[in-house]
Amino acid sequence: MIESFIEGRLRLRSSLLGDKELVAFLSERLLAIDGVTKAEVNPRTRGLLLEYDRARFPLERVKRAAPLLERMAEVEKLPTGERGAALLSLLEEMKERLTD
């Protein structure tokens, strides 16, 4: 799931990122998190480039949120109709972990 990481930048891969509806939903929700500066999805490669303000999200906070990104693999296995709600739940939990 997490393909690469340097402070301020994270690249993910997931089969979920090939679904245009979920991509729009995910990008919108990620950009709504204060401090996220970029959430660029490439549906062709099923990759997500996420950039964030390192001053707002020190490494320790990012580490708390990282396991949630890995849980996206579980969401991939859900029926299509259940994926949106599961992603929303993960994103809300991520937001809490990043902003505490």
pLDDT over threshold 80, residue 92 = yes
Rounded to whole angstroms, the Cα distance separating 31 from 50 reads: 9
pLDDT over threshold 80, residue 69 = no
Name the residue ranges covered by the structural domains of the chain. Answer: 2-99
pLDDT over threshold 80, residue 89 = yes
Q: Which residue has the higher pLDDT, 70 or 78?
A: 78
pLDDT of residue 91: 86
Look at residue 53 and give its three-state secondary structure. coil
Average pLDDT, the chain: 87
pLDDT of residue 79: 92
pLDDT of residue 65: 82
pLDDT of residue 100: 67
The CATH code of domain 2-99 reads: 3.30.70.100
- In tens, the pLDDT along 6-41 reads 999 999 898 888 888 888 888 888 898 888 999 998
- CB contact set of 32 (below 8 Å; sequence gap of 6+): none
pLDDT over threshold 90, residue 71 = no
